[in-house]
């Protein structure tokens, strides 16, 4: 009996497989992403599904999972079967390499360090800019209340910190001067929200603080939500590139047989169509043509990368934000 | 040990006990031991450095202090609410009764955001405090407000049934024997509800210690001042420092366990004294 059943079944299985191959296959992939990317992928996914259908005839379903970037990375490490991760900071992809889910050189697999677009830290002030805030060192003045998310728990806060620090270094200052500036800026922070969105709420709804340091694309959302006429956007003369890195999760795609579609999904992010959607969501595109087209909403800025000033985000994390690091030393017990 | 040997008149003791142990192991003990195992990777020295860190100690102090104050407030006002719900009839009583459970049902983050909105210096309630230079939101006081909110049902729901069991005839008897109102409360009612009140207090306290969602929105999260221990756990997880995070959790767990054990002992002691 035991031998007969497989023999009976195998032709059936074959037939089933063949008929499946003849018509379009149904494929699904999971994209584990950070919180604020929801809107972008809502618009990008249908575009890619259409493209994939034309190219291969397959019906693709893309599932999205959103959450704090590091939370998402931990979930993938703990076994969430995401085919691709689209994060808001490279350390959340590095951790997957550390846990051997992806190769260490993941950033070199796609152009621009595997970051199809980026954002930057900008300043949002009250209408008319009553405190006359123009530059990073204005945040350190006494009598100015600054809202920045906690750099230890938020990527948004981390980039704000690194932008202020790097602005000093890039203008020829010493690390000691940078440290002094960032220390006085954080002395002006009355509330340390745990996330970027929380900081927005504190600034916009609770009306606390004179200036909010946040990502450029978050400002777009604020204007959409609360109207453009209650705040002024101030571009500091120099700021930081916040790369938004992506990667295929090799362990998962190899197991599920979805490598081809997952890789195409990420490559297509660099297509002019996808870059345009990104620009519409206030993400800075890599495509030069699209960047020029959106130069009014995303004006060209003097920007520096994390790697230029800090070596890598990982190194910056280890020096500044780990327990007992530079940031913790600002808060010496009084 | 003699309890184990003596045969109970109720059948099914072995089965029931076996089931209880299995259930508790699956739901409580296994996750807890996983927590301890993760912490053990640090070793004693590592555990000690994490837990004895100045910032961690400060956050533990904030957490336990604010939880304690909130539980005291809840014990006092929860008792009054329970009293009113049990002893008086009034229109809309059922609605008020149902309101008590709402803090259980509300997602804690929503509670935190709403409370922060109300108690912020420009909020409905906060502006009156601000006029007197009292800051509620973004201070430890704000943490107490949030913890009081989420802990309210515990005291009310533990005291309510016990209070309902204290028959008003007993009070009337005491009154007819010449006891004043205060004496009736102090010598008749309070001893009866005291154990339940203590339980309610302990539950509200324990719940407050672990609370994260509602607090972070109203606390302001300033290091050494309004930073709660659960936030440091999240900060450690953010650095992928799992062992460090569990170390703080274990420290909180041990302190909570000691305090709850103490409260239970107090209860046991008071109920023994009561029966004598």
CATH code of residue A174: 3.40.190.10
Other C-beta atoms within 10 Å of B165: how many? Answer: 11
**What pLDDT is attached to residue B13?**
84
- The Cα–Cα gap between A25 and A33 comes to 25
The residue assigned the tokens 């195992």 is: B37
Å between B174 CA and nearest CA of chain A: 54
Record: contact A194-B220, CB cut-off 8 A: no
Query: Which pLDDT band holds residue B33 (cuts at 50, 70, 90)?
Result: very high
Helix (H, G, I), strand (E, B) or coil at A145: coil
Query: For chain B, which domains are there?
Result: 1-40 (no CATH), 43-275 (1.10.3720.10)
Sign of CA dihedral A274, A276, A280, A285: positive
Which residue of chain B is at minimal alpha-carbon distance from A74? B240
What is residue A317's DSSP assignment? I
Record: contact B238-A322, CB cut-off 8 A: no
Å between A288 CA and nearest CA of chain B: 35
* Nearest C-alpha neighbor of A103 from the set A114, A94, A90: A94
Q: Does residue A125 sit in the same domain as residue A104?
A: no
Helix (H, G, I), strand (E, B) or coil at A98: helix
**What pLDDT is attached to residue B4?**
54
**What pLDDT is attached to residue A1?**
45
Q: Does residue A132 sit in the same domain as residue A89?
A: no
Using an 8 Å CB-CB cutoff, list chain A residues near B241: 323
Q: Does residue A107 sit in the same domain as residue A77?
A: yes
Contacts of residue A176, defined as CB under 8 A and 6 or more positions apart, other chains included, come to none
Mean pLDDT of B152-166: 93
Torsion angle of alpha carbons A215, A221, A224, A225, nearest 10°?
Answer: -120
Record: contact A323-B220, CB cut-off 8 A: no
Q: Does residue A183 sit in the same domain as residue A82?
A: no
Which residue of chain B is at minimal alpha-carbon distance from A320? B239
Record: contact B235-A152, CB cut-off 8 A: yes
Domain that holds residue A8: 4-116+244-293
Beta bridge partners of B250: none
Record: contact A206-B216, CB cut-off 8 A: no
Record: contact A194-B231, CB cut-off 8 A: yes
Give the pLDDT confidence of B85-121 residue by residue, as tens digits. Answer: 998 889 999 999 999 999 888 899 899 999 999 999 8
Residues belonging to chain A: 334
**What pLDDT is attached to residue A70?**
86
Q: Does residue A320 sit in the same domain as residue A192?
A: yes
Record: contact A191-B138, CB cut-off 8 A: yes
Q: Does residue A177 sit in the same domain as residue A156?
A: yes
**What pLDDT is attached to residue A223?**
85
Q: Does residue A151 sit in the same domain as residue A276?
A: no
Q: Does residue A71 sit in the same domain as residue A182?
A: no
Residues belonging to chain B: 276
Q: Does residue A321 sit in the same domain as residue A201?
A: yes
A226 interfaces chain B, CB cutoff of 8 Å:
no
**What pLDDT is attached to residue A182?**
97
Record: contact A323-B138, CB cut-off 8 A: no
Which residue of chain A is at minimal alpha-carbon distance from B234? A153
**What pLDDT is attached to residue B7?**
64
**What pLDDT is attached to residue A10?**
54
- The Cα–Cα gap between B139 and B145 comes to 10
The stretches of A211-332 forming alpha helices (DSSP H) are 216-226, 250-256, 259-267, 272-280, 288-293, 306-310, 313-316, 326-330
CA B57 to chain centre: 20
* Positions in chain A whose pLDDT score sits under 50: 1-2, 8, 12-22
Inter-residue contact A258 to A79 (CB < 8 Å): no
Using an 8 Å CB-CB cutoff, list chain B residues near A70: 237-238, 240
**What pLDDT is attached to residue B6?**
59
Inter-residue contact A34 to A71 (CB < 8 Å): no
Give the pLDDT confidence of B69-86 residue by residue, as tens digits. Answer: 999 999 999 999 999 999
Q: Does residue A15 sit in the same domain as residue A42?
A: yes
A201 interfaces chain B, CB cutoff of 8 Å:
yes
Using an 8 Å CB-CB cutoff, list chain B residues near A323: 53, 55, 235-236, 239, 241, 244
Query: Which pLDDT band holds residue B2 (cuts at 50, 70, 90)?
Result: very low
ipTM above 0.90, yes or no: no
Q: Does residue A200 sit in the same domain as residue A146?
A: yes
User: Which site among B51, B59, B226, B240 would you substitute to test the A interface, given the most A Cβ atoms closer than 10 Å to its Cβ?
Assistant: B240
Which residue of chain B is at minimal alpha-carbon distance from A70? B238
Mean pLDDT of B242-253: 93
Q: Does residue A218 sit in the same domain as residue A154?
A: yes
Q: Taking phi first (over 0 means left), then psi (-120 to 50 degrees means alpha), and beta for anything else, what does residue B118 get?
A: alpha
Using an 8 Å CB-CB cutoff, list chain A residues near B116: 206
Query: Which pLDDT band holds residue B184 (cuts at 50, 70, 90)?
Result: confident
Å between B201 CA and nearest CA of chain A: 30
- The Cα–Cα gap between B86 and B79 comes to 10
Rg for chain B, CA atoms, rounded: 22
Q: What angle do CA B27, B33, B37 make, to 5 degrees?
A: 150
Record: contact A70-B240, CB cut-off 8 A: yes
Q: What SS3 string covers chain B?
A: CHHHHCCCCCCCHHHHHHHHHHHHHHHHHHHHHHHHHHHHCCHHHHHHHHHCCHHHHHHHHHHHHHHHHHHHHHHHHHHHHHHHHHHCCCCCHHHHHHHHCHHHHCCHHHHHHHHHHHHCCCCCCHHHHHHCCCCCCCCHHHHHHHHHHHHHHHHHHHHHHHHHHCCHHHHHHHHHCCCCHHHHHHHHHHHHHHHHHHHHHHHHHHHHHHCCCCHHHHHCCCCCCCCCHHHHHHHHHHCCCHHHHHHHHHHHHHHHHHHHHHHHHHHHHHHHHHHC
Beta bridge partners of A247: A85
Record: contact B241-A323, CB cut-off 8 A: yes
CA B272 to chain centre: 24
Contacts of residue B86, defined as CB under 8 A and 6 or more positions apart, other chains included, come to B160, B163, B164
* Nearest C-alpha neighbor of A320 from the set A105, A151, A87: A151
Query: Which pLDDT band holds residue B276 (cuts at 50, 70, 90)?
Result: very low
Give the pLDDT confidence of B38-53 residue by residue, as tens digits. Answer: 999 999 999 999 999 8
A94 interfaces chain B, CB cutoff of 8 Å:
no
Counted domains in chain A: 2
**What pLDDT is attached to residue B275?**
55
Record: contact A321-B123, CB cut-off 8 A: no
């Amino acid at each position: 009996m035991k031998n007969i059943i497989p023999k009976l079944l195998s032709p059936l299985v074959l037939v089933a497989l063949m008929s499946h191959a003849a018509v379009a296959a149904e494929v699904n992939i999971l994209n584990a992403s950070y919180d604020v990317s929801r809107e972008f992928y809502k618009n990008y996914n249908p575009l890619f599904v259409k493209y994939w259908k034309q190219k291969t005839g397959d019906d693709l379903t893309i599932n999205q999972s959103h959450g704090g970037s590091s939370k998402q990375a931990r979930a993938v490490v703990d076994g969430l079967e995401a085919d691709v991760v689209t994060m808001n900071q490279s350390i959340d992809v590095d951790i997957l390499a550390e846990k051997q889910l992806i190769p260490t050189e993941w950033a070199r697999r796609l152009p621009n360090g595997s970051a199809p677009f980026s954002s930057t830290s900008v300043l949002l002030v009250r209408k008319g800019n009553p405190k006359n805030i123009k530059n990073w060192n204005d945040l350190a003045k006494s009598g100015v209340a600054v809202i920045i998310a906690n750099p230890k728990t938020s990527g948004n806060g981390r980039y704000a910190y690194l932008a202020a620090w790097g602005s000093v270094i890039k203008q020829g200052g010493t690390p000691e001067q940078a440290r002094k500036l960032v220390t006085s800026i954080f002395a002006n922070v009355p509330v340390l929200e745990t996330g970027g969105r929380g900081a927005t709420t504190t600034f916009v709804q609770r009306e606390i603080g004179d200036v909010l340091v946040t990502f450029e694309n978050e400002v777009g959302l604020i204007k959409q939500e609360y109207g453009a006429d209650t705040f002024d956007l101030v571009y500091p003369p120099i700021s930081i590139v916040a790369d938004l890195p992506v990667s295929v999760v090799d362990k998962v795609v190899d197991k599920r047989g979805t490598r081809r579609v997952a890789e195409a999904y990420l490559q297509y992010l660099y297509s002019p169509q996808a870059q345009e959607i990104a620009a519409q969501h206030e993400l800075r595109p890599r495509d030069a043509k699209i960047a020029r087209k959106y130069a009014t909403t995303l004006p060209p800025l003097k920007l520096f990368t994390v790697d230029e000033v800090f070596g890598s985000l990982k190194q910056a994390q280890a020096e500044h934000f780990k327990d007992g690091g530079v940031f913790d030393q600002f808060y010496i017990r009084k | 040990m003699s309890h184990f040997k003596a045969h109970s008149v109720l059948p099914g003791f072995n089965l029931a006990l076996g089931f209880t142990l299995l259930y508790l192991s699956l739901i409580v003990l296994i996750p807890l031991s996983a927590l301890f195992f993760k912490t053990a990777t640090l070793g004693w020295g590592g555990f000690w450095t994490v837990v004895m860190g100045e910032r961690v100690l400060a956050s533990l102090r904030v957490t336990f202090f604010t939880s304690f104050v909130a539980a005291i407030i809840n014990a006092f006002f929860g008792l009054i609410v329970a009293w009113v719900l049990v002893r008086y009839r009034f229109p809309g009583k059922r609605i008020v009764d149902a309101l008590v459970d709402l803090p259980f049902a509300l997602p804690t983050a929503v509670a935190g955001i709403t409370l922060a909105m109300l108690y912020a210096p420009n909020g409905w309630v906060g502006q009156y405090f601000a006029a007197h230079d009292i800051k509620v939101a973004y201070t430890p006081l704000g943490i107490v407000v949030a913890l009081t909110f989420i802990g309210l049902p515990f005291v009310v729901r533990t005291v309510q049934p016990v209070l309902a069991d204290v028959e008003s005839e007993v009070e009337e008897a005491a009154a007819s024997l010449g006891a004043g109102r205060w004496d009736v409360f102090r010598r008749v009612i309070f001893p009866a509800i005291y154990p339940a009140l203590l339980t309610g207090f302990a539950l509200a306290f324990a719940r407050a210690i672990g609370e994260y969602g509602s607090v972070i929105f109203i606390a302001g999260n300033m290091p050494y001042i309004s930073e709660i221990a659960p936030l440091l756990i999240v900060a450690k997880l953010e650095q992928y420092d799992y062992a460090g995070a569990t170390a703080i959790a274990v420290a909180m767990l041990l302190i909570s366990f000691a305090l709850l054990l103490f409260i239970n002992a107090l209860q046991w002691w008071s109920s023994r004294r009561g029966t004598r």
